[in-house]
Structure 1
Amino acid sequence: MSRSGEHLKDEGSKTQVVIAGAVAGLIARFVIAPLDVVKIRLQLQTHSLSDPLSQQDLKGSPIYKGTLPTLRHILRDEGITGLWKGNIPAELMYVAYSAIQFTTYRSVTLGLQSAFGEHRLPAAAESFIAGASAGAVSTTATYPLDLLRTRFAAQGRERIYTSLAASIREIAKNEGPRGFFQGLGAGVGQIIPYMGIFFATYETLRKPMSSLQLPFGSGEAMAGVLASLVSKTAVFPLDLVRKRLQVQGPTRAKYVHKNIPVYKGVIRTLQSILKKEGTRGLYRGLTVSLFKAAPASAVTMWTYERVLRVMMDMEVAKTE
């Protein structure tokens, strides 16, 4: 028997889920865009702030120290538009990603419920499998847009790509189809445990927290925040490796950080960072990432459920 009405995944038609997921992703992305740019800049910064630096080491790269100083640095050097660099491919990615994610999550969950019948999997296991599957599918499908978002956000005052169309043409010409998928292994390796942990934690917390009256939002939003913090911290090193691999190629030395080393492969990149930057090097940008993840997940889940509920209410009103 289906637990319809008790879980997010069982509510709404497929079309309603797609629309709600897309709207949630669009709004969440715009809200957190500046923090995303800061995170990427910090993740690509290879030099340690505790070591003596020479201009030869930096090769003209800026020195970012913390979230707020980095925000001020970008505003001063690149203007307010610098905080939304890469927003167009990111918006396209978030809309597509959210729609594919929620649709796949719903489909896999209903498939598991149908396959196991009365011998249902535990809710946490069911959510983990569905979340991991949704993450892997949506990450792979939207990865070229993720790579473009990173490359645009990594640009300083020097413009490497003049437009989204130009960037696609140049990567296709100079790097081939594989150029759009650099770092995909880290992306999928990151997103499978991330989404599994996120949805398992969210589904565990959502019901007991839904009745809480919080001054800054619903209990559902708070469940999304906590789930995001736990899962984001767990897989952050792979997120950093993905960013370092995404800017590899003929334009590597032209980004705002001009001293990014040559990396090849997820494991070798992890080993290189550990050797040259230490364990702390794997967590550059974690603080702003957590600040970013919390509002992003809260806005996404809150918007998704509200938009879905409005559409379902409108559907009921039409049939009455």
Structure 2
Amino acid sequence: MNPTPRDDHLKRGSKVAPYEALIAGTVSGGVARGITAPLDTIKIRLQLQSKFFKHGRPVYSLVKDLLQHEGVIALWKGNVPAEMLYIIYGGVQFTSYSMLNANLSLLEKNLNIVKLSSSTHSLIAGVGAGVASTLATYPFDLLRTRLVANTKKDLLGMTATARGIIKADGPGGLFVGMAPAMLAIAPTTGLMFWSYELAREFSTNFGHVPFLEGICGFVAGTFSKGITFPLDTLRKRCQIYPIVHGKRYTRASHVFFNIIEKEGILGLYRGYGISILKTAPTSAISLWTFEIVITSMRKYQNAKPLTK
């Protein structure tokens, strides 16, 4: 007996209305962030505290110090801008992906010149979605990093932090590190959707497996972050450059070579382990939630998904 096919609303040619993608994307972003927030805080701290790298400071030591000096609530530092970031990012990411997916399919059909594989199609649409979502949410990403970087017990306010950045560096200060962020997030998003579709194609005969979409998302998150992690570290270092060095951010290349010179190539992988522990479940929860919300909405509306 063949297993019942599972809906894949992200595959090539899937018809997902923008409002469906927006609702499902915002829900998936909020749920994923709410569950994995503490891991994100630990990951960012590891990426930022370069002075401990050569001494091999273990994760448990950082967590112990954080809890002792800043309290349990510190694990949720920067959660307000981060939650806003994930909600907006999820909405923009899945909406733009669904629109690019549909239009790219239409373009392939009309031109009839290039025939892309399903996974390559997802890679291109995913990169475009990564660019769109980064442009829409970058200031929140910067604010999250600045708030998490604060090692004092007193929590900083998002509004006050934003005002301080604008006062010191102008409105452009909210976009410090945008170039490495784009280089990090766009390919990561593209690779995530690419590997997710490969995993979904491979899992065709496992439709009976619970949380199948989440398992495929877990694989996708692990693979994509593993490939692009050094760019993520560079992005975080660029975001805190002004407060660490007391001067305006210069160039990503300067920050990159500074890491290599002082910490070696492994400095780019600071926090890699905890990042995978955070990114993989985040991708799993996000993609699973998106698929489930779309399916639930359509069941509620008594509508069937249309695919080419």
**Could you state the TM-score of these two structures normalised by the residue count of structure 2?**
0.88
Residue 54 of structure 1 is matched in structure 2 by none
Given candidates 68, 79, 103, the residue that maps to 2:71 is 79
Change over 3 Å in CA distance of 1:155–1:210 after alignment to 2: farther
* 1:21 and 2:7 are equivalent in the alignment: no
Contact kept in structure 2, 1:12 and 1:312, CA below 8 Å: no
Residue 183 of structure 1 is matched in structure 2 by 177
Change over 3 Å in CA distance of 1:103–1:269 after alignment to 2: same
Deviations 1:289-312 (A, max 9, x none): 000011101111111111111111
Residue 157 of structure 1 is matched in structure 2 by 152
Contact kept in structure 1, 2:193 and 2:220, CA below 8 Å: yes
- SS in structure 1 opposite 2:49? coil
Contact kept in structure 1, 2:71 and 2:153, CA below 8 Å: no
Structure 1 CA distance for aligned equivalents of residues 231 and 169 of structure 2: 23
How far does residue 154 in structure 1 lie from its aligned partner after superposition? 0.7
Residue 130 of structure 1 is matched in structure 2 by 125
- SS in structure 2 opposite 1:117? helix
Alignment of 1:279-294 (within 5 A): 279-294=265-280
Contact kept in structure 1, 2:28 and 2:285, CA below 8 Å: yes
Q: Percent of aligned positions with the same letter in both sequences?
A: 38
Contact kept in structure 2, 1:194 and 1:231, CA below 8 Å: yes
Residue 267 of structure 1 is matched in structure 2 by 253
Structure 2 CA distance for aligned equivalents of residues 288 and 133 of structure 1: 27
Residue 252 of structure 1 is matched in structure 2 by 244
The unaligned stretches of length 5 or more in structure 2 are: 1-6, 304-308
* 1:105 and 2:105 are equivalent in the alignment: no
Residue 107 of structure 2 is matched in structure 1 by 115
Contact kept in structure 2, 1:244 and 1:263, CA below 8 Å: no
Contact kept in structure 2, 1:210 and 1:220, CA below 8 Å: no
Alignment of 1:1-320 (within 5 A): 6-8=8-10, 10-50=14-54, 65-117=57-109, 119=112, 120-157=115-152, 159=154, 162-209=156-203, 211-212=205-206, 217-249=210-242, 251-252=243-244, 264-316=250-302
Contact kept in structure 1, 2:213 and 2:291, CA below 8 Å: no
Structure 2 CA distance for aligned equivalents of residues 162 and 16 of structure 1: 35
Q: CA RMSD in A?
A: 2.2
The unaligned stretches of length 5 or more in structure 1 are: 52-63, 254-259
Contact kept in structure 2, 1:210 and 1:218, CA below 8 Å: no
Structure 2 CA distance for aligned equivalents of residues 30 and 269 of structure 1: 31
How far does residue 137 in structure 1 lie from its aligned partner after superposition? 0.9
- SS in structure 2 opposite 1:247? helix
Structure 2 CA distance for aligned equivalents of residues 129 and 25 of structure 1: 21
Contact kept in structure 2, 1:24 and 1:304, CA below 8 Å: yes
How far does residue 219 in structure 1 lie from its aligned partner after superposition? 2.2
How far does residue 50 in structure 1 lie from its aligned partner after superposition? 4.1
**Could you state the TM-score of these two structures normalised by the residue count of structure 1?**
0.85
Change over 3 Å in CA distance of 1:221–1:211 after alignment to 2: farther
How far does residue 117 in structure 1 lie from its aligned partner after superposition? 0.8
